[in-house]
Amino acid sequence: MRVFLSLLVVAALAVGCVSTSGSGNQGSTMLSKEIIELVNAAAVEIVVLKPEESASITYEKELPWENIPFHIRNDKYFSIGTAFAISESELVTAAHVLNLGEKSKIFNKFFIRDSQGQVFEINTILKADNRWDLVHFTAKGKTFDRYFTMLKEYTVNQSVFTVGSALGEGIVIRDGLLLGTIPEQSDGEWLLLKSSAGANPGNSGGPLLDSQGRVLAIVQGLKDNIVYSLPIKEFIDAKAGVAVFSTKYKYGLSNITQTLKKEYYNEVRCPKPYQEVTNEEYKHYLKFYNDSMTELIESNKKTIFPAGKQSKPLLERVITTYYPEIIFENKDDGSWNLSKTDTQTYRLDNEGMIIAGTVGDFATADINKPKDMTLAEMYRNPKVFMDYFLKAINISRPIGGEKIRITSFGEPFYKERFIDSYKRKWFLNVWLLNYSDLAVITFSTPTPTGVVTVFKTTSTADLEEWLFDCRVLADFFQLSYFGTFAEWKEFFANREYLPEIFSTLSFSYTAGEKAAFTSKRLKINYTNDDFEISDDSLLKLTFSFYTENGKVVWDIRKIVIDKDKNSKDYFVIYKEKKPDPELPESFQNSWQQVLDRKHPLSGEPFNEDGLTCVGGIHKQYADEQIARGRDSLYILYLGLEGKIKDEEIAARYDTISNAITFFE
């Protein structure tokens, strides 16, 4: 993913003076007073406006602005690089400084600032090339009485000077030697100059001068104390009247091993206002990104879950986790597995709770609301669940040498609803952290206890790309549901927010009397005499992906009903499927054990872990011939606390069995 220049979060001094500093190289030559005056007149900072403090974001205490030096906190701008004049109205800088084509939601206006502190917005792009890392431009209302001349020739070991913003020290000149050349790292199409002249990050886009003050190159970067610069000949010879965007990309999704390499190319005709260049290029690139990601998915659709042989084992499993997990491809053998997230639990006031973990590029959370909050509040208002999340998770703003905890992001900058391939409804929200040019993306779906949420933090310039990815990745999340009967009652009262499959389900109960659950596959209808019913009784619906009639569905594979959270009494209904013949022998053996009614499905009571248990194929399919002719069977399993007489638990088992009817 493309990232906006990180230097934007580093405060810089206004340029008020020019200084020189030796690099320590023997034989270095100091520049004359006249050349220093030329630098003072023709070298400028590239700056962006500091973002306004968001009134929406709140903190646990006042921000310590007093810890930031006076001149920095009172500067209206961040300094991000350098440019230099080559005529009365024309300037040059490095393309990565202006980030043409990048659509930051925070830093979207660029300016130059001269040695007198005067600021002028960038105006027109005359030409640009992101591969060569160069931009030729003008600034609104700015002309130069003095400007640099350019020289194509250079000599190894000659004295050279970097000129640029020191991000806090003004425009600084540093001397050194021209060490030689090196091919550019991608294809070696041109040479970069290497020099020992000192540099700061703010030197990007500034000139590399000879001892007579002529521009030899455009400074592009610093690595291992060596400055790399683009020879000015490459700038002079660059294609005129056009902004060229050319990059080699490798696209992929966070949970799959397949990638797609693409070469991107676009030209925007110039001269043109810089924001128009960015808008035109961004629109073109975003379509390219979406098309490339779609191509990646389509070209691998025969092997990406749920398709392909490697998906079959997971499609046979009855999932046991209730924490949201992502389905990912194992890079070693290509198998598809659940992420098995390591989580941490945070208990909050009034029985609220947040369980959180990280999966690859994402954070995930199961947010359980407090008793004094309704589900509708959490579903309707993303600020509510995010504020609640921030009560448990410490997200801080670094400022003035301290980290100040954020208590609220406020209302989201952007929100939408989308439906994934399995008709699950997701609420997508975006918050902007304007102080850092970051966006926090969440996509969430309701549960009986609150919401499950997936988090991604990215630069605002990459926001739309990650929104595309999030909508795709929603298909790969495994979700199951649990809650007390009272929580389920409230959950079903908010059907407009629920996955489509819940429109085929119904649930009702009266504490101490009766309870009923119905789906298109079965009906459970029992009384308090059959199995105790209260507001605190628990219903767990385990969903899985599985194949049915040649199509992969996301549906209930297991239902668990517990007497309450303090009791060990429970009964379970689950769907056992005849495995695909291509699956390993272990799957075939498990199915055969069901058909052969092997322990623990023999119908014979037994004791285990302080419980008396009994299980078997539901009596509706008890006939041997019927069972062996089916592709799936329903299992009923009962566990009661303590040591129960065989005849007593057998009678309870029959009673519950009679309360269940299957429609398939």
pLDDT for the residue 320: 83
Please give the DSSP secondary-structure letter assigned to residue 279: H
Average pLDDT for residues 76-86, to the nearest whole number? Answer: 96
pLDDT for the residue 199: 85
The answer to whether residue 602 scores a pLDDT higher than 70 is yes
Please say whether the beta carbons of 307 and 292 come within 8 A: no
Q: Please report which confidence band the pLDDT of residue 169 belongs to, taking 50, 70 and 90 as the band edges.
A: low
Could you tell me what percent of the chain has a pLDDT over 90? 89
Instruction: Please report, for the chain, the start and end positions of each structural domain, with discontinuous segments joined by +.
Output: 6-244, 309-567
pLDDT tens-digit series, residues 450-465: 999 999 999 999 999 9
pLDDT for the residue 168: 57
Please tell me the distance from the alpha carbon of residue 130 to that of residue 153, in angstroms, as a whole number. 23
Nearest to 409 by CA among 432, 392, 435: 432
pLDDT for the residue 319: 85
The answer to whether residue 553 scores a pLDDT higher than 90 is yes
Nearest to 8 by CA among 106, 140, 127: 106
* CATH architecture classification, 6-244: Beta Barrel (2.40)
Average pLDDT for residues 62-79, to the nearest whole number? Answer: 93
pLDDT for the residue 1: 34
Mean pLDDT of the chain: 93
The burial class, CB within 10 Å (0-12 / 13-18 / 19+), for 446 is buried
Q: Please report which confidence band the pLDDT of residue 9 belongs to, taking 50, 70 and 90 as the band edges.
A: very low
Nearest to 161 by CA among 308, 297, 43: 43
The answer to whether residue 23 scores a pLDDT higher than 90 is no
Retrieve residue 178's tokens.
């021209």
Could you tell me what percent of the chain has a pLDDT over 70? 95
pLDDT for the residue 71: 85
Please say whether the beta carbons of 622 and 613 come within 8 A: no
Q: SS in 3 state form for 385-433?
A: HHHHHHHHCCCEEEECCEEEEEEECCCCCEEEEEECCCCCEEEEEEEEE
Task: Return the higher-pLDDT residue of 155 and 14.
Answer: 155
Q: Please report which confidence band the pLDDT of residue 16 belongs to, taking 50, 70 and 90 as the band edges.
A: very low
pLDDT tens-digit series, residues 216-262: 999 999 888 899 999 999 999 999 999 999 999 999 999 999 999 99
Please say whether the beta carbons of 313 and 335 come within 8 A: yes
The answer to whether residue 154 scores a pLDDT higher than 70 is yes
pLDDT tens-digit series, residues 286-296: 999 999 999 99
Please tell me the distance from the alpha carbon of residue 339 to that of residue 319, in angstroms, as a whole number. 12
Retrieve residue 424's tokens.
């699950």
pLDDT tens-digit series, residues 473-524: 999 999 999 999 999 999 999 999 999 999 999 999 999 999 999 999 999 9
The answer to whether residue 86 scores a pLDDT higher than 50 is yes
Please tell me the distance from the alpha carbon of residue 436 to that of residue 406, in angstroms, as a whole number. 13
The answer to whether residue 8 scores a pLDDT higher than 80 is no
pLDDT for the residue 205: 97
Sign of the Cα torsion 640, 646, 651, 656 reads positive
**Residue at token pair 């499959």:** 501
pLDDT for the residue 201: 81
The answer to whether residue 29 scores a pLDDT higher than 70 is no
